């Protein structure tokens, strides 16, 4: 009787493993990524809807003064309102990020990468939705921002997801963890 090697959840399947054994794990990783993305996207869009439904533009509400306030603004640019005249560039970048994350699904072999890419997908898709469907026009929409902390830009949940996900991705790259779950310097399996 042949015994299966014991692997940790983040250890990749060996090159000789049968595809039918790797497929359920890959499906679970993709499902995790898409679940994180769906929850993050829903949270982002719901909070933006609540802000627009319950606040007037420019209104500030103290949540935990002086550290946290809700301050409702519409941002045509990026962080710190940079690039307000080239909103369409941010639309293209966010669309490219969404497409790129989907293109990585077939390579996915790591739980941390699944969570980080799910957060990145949620954040990019959340702000892309604003760019596409909010005023003043398709592709040039202004993003709803409302989270205000001292001496920093006003941001939203999507922005937080993008920043946290990119920090996690950078840490994984620096630690040498490849998207497939193997060390970055390991030979790819065939």
> Cα–Cα distance between 56 and 48 in angstroms, integer?
12
- Residue 158, Cα to own-chain centre: how many angstroms? 7
159 tagged catalytic:
yes
Token pair for 135: 């005023």
Please answer whether residues 89 and 83 qualify as being in contact, where contact means their C-beta atoms are separated by less than 8 angstroms: yes
Q: Which of 44, 130, 159, 180 is catalytic?
A: 159
> Cα–Cα distance between 151 and 176 in angstroms, integer?
34
> Cα–Cα distance between 184 and 22 in angstroms, integer?
20
Q: Which of 44, 130, 145, 180 is catalytic?
A: 145
> Cα–Cα distance between 181 and 107 in angstroms, integer?
9
Please answer whether residues 130 and 144 qualify as being in contact, where contact means their C-beta atoms are separated by less than 8 angstroms: yes
> Cα–Cα distance between 74 and 84 in angstroms, integer?
11
Please answer whether residues 180 and 107 qualify as being in contact, where contact means their C-beta atoms are separated by less than 8 angstroms: yes
130 tagged catalytic:
no
Q: In what order do the strands lie in the sheet with 60-64?
A: 60-64, 68-75, 143-148
Which residues are designated catalytic? 145, 159
């Amino acid at each position: 009787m042949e015994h299966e090697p014991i692997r940790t959840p983040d250890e990749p399947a060996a090159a000789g493993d049968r595809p039918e054994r790797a497929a359920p794990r890959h499906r679970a990783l993709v499902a995790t990524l898409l679940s994180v993305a769906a929850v993050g996207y829903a949270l982002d869009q719901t909070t933006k809807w609540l802000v627009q439904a319950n606040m007037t533009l420019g209104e500030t509400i103290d949540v935990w003064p002086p550290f946290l306030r809700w301050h409702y603004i519409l941002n045509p640019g990026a962080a710190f309102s940079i690039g307000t005249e080239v909103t369409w560039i941010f639309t293209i970048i966010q669309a490219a990020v969404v497409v790129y994350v989907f293109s990585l699904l077939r390579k996915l072999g790591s739980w941390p990468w699944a969570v980080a890419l799910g957060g990145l997908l949620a954040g990019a898709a959340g702000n892309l939705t604003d760019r596409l469907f909010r005023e003043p026009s398709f592709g040039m929409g202004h993003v709803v921002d409302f989270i205000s902390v001292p001496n920093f830009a006003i941001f939203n949940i999507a922005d937080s997801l993008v920043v946290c996900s990119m920090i996690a991705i950078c840490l994984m790259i620096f630690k040498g963890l490849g998207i497939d779950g193997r060390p970055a310097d390991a030979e790819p399996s065939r």
